[in-house]
Structure 1
Amino acid sequence: MAYIGKTYKFQKDENFREFLAHLGVPADKVEYLLTSKPSQKLEKDGDNYTLTTIDASTKEMKFKEGVEFDESITPEITAKTTFTVSGNVVTQVQKFEDGRSITLKREYSDDQLVVEITTTGWDSTARRYYAAV
């Protein structure tokens, strides 16, 4: 788990605009998300993990593997979220009240993080690429 505690900085994405369009994200938020260059870091303390995303603000998500919790996506939207950790792959599944779900599969290596994003009713995959810093 050499990726634990390492910071990864956003580099590029594929199909992310299409993913956001499928979700119905408002245009102003789409542009913000497409131009932001966040960093991510995963830390572990015993059985507890903290996933930190740093951009214009810092968002910390604390979780235990396999334990569902309420994740605040926006002030109006909450998901039931579960993480699993298998080697260098950390998978996050967000389930929403309307029956939709989003899966974010983070695959870590020494020099990069690739996040594959899929969702209910969309027959494609978005990818976001991060470089270790």
Structure 2
Amino acid sequence: MSFLNKTYKFVKQENLDGFLKAIGFPEEKITPVLSFTPDQKYTKEGDSYKYVTQGLDGPREVTFKSGVEFDDLIGPEKVPAKTTYVVDGNKIIQTVKSSFGVGTFTREFVGDDLFITMELEGWNGVAKRQYKAA
């Protein structure tokens, strides 16, 4: 798990606007999200992991155990959701079930790169973000 304890900085993205439109995100809020590029960091303590980033509404820290579903609040509107993270080697697969639908965020760590792929049930598209360890 060489990805732990590194800070990842944004590099580029593609089709994030398509993903946001697919979940029904308000049109006037899409542009601010597209320009928002927060750092990400992942750590582990015992059998729990911690994901730390900056949300549009302030700092966000999520502590999770691999494979254990928990109640979550997502986005600036704090939409209730059920979230599960599964750590599988160099991947962290996050499944989010909310009123937006069921979304899957696959984080794959390759060397010093972090690739995030975002998919949504019923949407025939894929959004991607790339980060680089600082």
Please give the TM-score of this superposition, normalised by the length of structure 2: 0.92
* Secondary structure at the counterpart of residue 42 of structure 1: strand
- Where does residue 42 of structure 2 map in the other structure? 42
Q: Which runs of 4+ in 1 moved over 2 A?
A: 54-57
Distance verdict in 2 for CA 1:82–1:109, change over 3 Å: same
Comparing 73-82 and 15-24, the one that deviates more = 73-82
Equivalent position of 1:30 in the other structure: 30
| Structure 1 unmatched runs, 5+ | none
TM superposition shift of 1:37? 1.3
Q: Distance in 2 between matches of 1:97 and 1:69?
A: 16
Partners of 2:19 and 2:55 in 1: how far apart?
20
Residue equivalent to 1:87 = 89
Tell which deviates more after alignment, 72-81 or 28-37.
72-81
Q: One-letter code of the match for 2:96?
A: Q
Q: Which moved more, 1:68-77 or 1:101-110?
A: 68-77
Q: Percent identity?
A: 39
CA distance in 1: counterparts of 2:28 and 2:12, whole angstroms: 19
Compared CA separation, residues 110 and 54, structure 1 to 2 (3 A): farther
Partner residue in 2 for 1:105: 106
Q: TM-score scaled by structure 1? A: 0.92
Corresponding letter in the other structure for 2:90: N
Partner of 1:14: 14
Q: State the alpha-carbon separation in 1 of the partners of residues 99 and 24 from structure 2.
A: 16
Distance 1:31 1:45 in 2: 36
1:107-126 to 2 correspondence within 5 Å? 107-126=108-127
Q: What SS does the corresponding residue of 2:124 show, helix, strand or coil?
A: coil
Change (3 A) 1:83 1:3: same
Deviation at 1:55, TM superposition (A): 5.5
Structure 2 distance, partners of 1:122, 1:17, is 13
Offset, 1:119: 0.3
Count, aligned residues: 132
Superposed CA deviations along residues 53-107 of structure 1, whole A, max 9, x for unmatched, are 1356320011011111011014451110011111100000001257x20000000
| CA distance, structure 1, for counterparts of residue 69 and residue 99 of structure 2 | 14
